[in-house]
Amino acid sequence: MDRKNLIILGVITVLAIALIIGSILLGGKGEGDREKLLKLVKIYLEEGDYDRALDYLDKLYLQNPNDEAISNLRKEIMKKKKQKEEMSKKEVVVKIDTPKELTPPPQTKIEPIKEDKTKNKKEQAQEIYEEGVKYLKKGDINNAHIRFEKASELDPDNNKIKGALSYTTYKKGNKERALKIANETISSDPNEPYSHLTKGNILYDNNDYDNALEEFNKVIS
């Protein structure tokens, strides 16, 4: 239905409601009023305005609580109102519980890692790690990540390298592995900042804001 037809339909509905209310206010009370109010109730019911429909129906219900038709209609509206409220709650839960999507890092040219075989593994790991940090500062997650991976292979017990690896793993979208690396690193070194940054981001993405803030505070403490 186009916008013009929607506007026309809206105007007709408003006029119908106005005519019904006007006829009730101008006319006397009686059986005719009951039918007019019921028409008004049904208009609001079709529009999904259950509160207003109940307001008008309750006036009739109070006048004659033994009217079976009104009683049944009231139950129907109450049921639909409850269903609408439950659906609204479910929509809110879905919006809150749905984890935020990570934006994948931009594709960049992978530069070869320079290895100095004259140095021992820990020294090589440190140099490759520092090169990875330079790429990370430029926003090049992919080149930073492969360097942290290589550095971690050369020096697997280095928590600083593992923390950085957890962060780039998270940025590349592998949250499960990132969290595993971060937790392992924190268990070994509770003060390693990159691991807390990784964990804080994952908690934030899952809307666990209080615990995320706690992790972020550990980064800057």
Can you give the CATH number for the domain in which 60 is found? Answer: 1.25.40.10
Q: How far apart are CA 118 and CA 107, in angstroms?
A: 32
In a domain, 113, yes or no: no
125-141, pLDDT tens digit by residue?
999 999 999 998 888 99
In a domain, 116, yes or no: no
Q: What is the mean pLDDT of the chain?
A: 77
In a domain, 145, yes or no: yes
Cβ atoms within 10 Å, residue 130: 11
- C-alpha 72: how far from its chain's center? 39
In a domain, 102, yes or no: no
Cβ atoms within 10 Å, residue 53: 24
- Note the pLDDT of residue 145: 95
Domain limits for position 70: 3-97
Q: Is the pLDDT of residue 63 over 90?
A: no
Average pLDDT of the residues in 180-190: 95
For residues 169 and 91, which has the higher predicted lDDT (pLDDT)?
A: 169
Kindly state whether residues 127 and 206 are assigned to the same domain. Answer: yes
Q: Is the pLDDT of residue 83 over 50?
A: yes
Domain boundary among 65, 97, 129: 97
Q: How far apart are CA 188 and CA 159, in angstroms?
A: 7
The number of domains in the chain is 2
- Note the pLDDT of residue 163: 95
Binned at pLDDT 50, 70 and 90, residue 118 comes out as confident
**40 and 21 Cβ atoms separated by less than 8 Å:** yes
6-61, pLDDT tens digit by residue?
555 554 554 454 454 444 443 444 456 677 677 777 777 777 777 777 777 776 66
Name the strand (E) or helix (H) holding 48: none
Kindly state whether residues 171 and 210 are assigned to the same domain. Answer: yes
- Note the pLDDT of residue 195: 94
- Give pTM, 2 decimals: 0.54
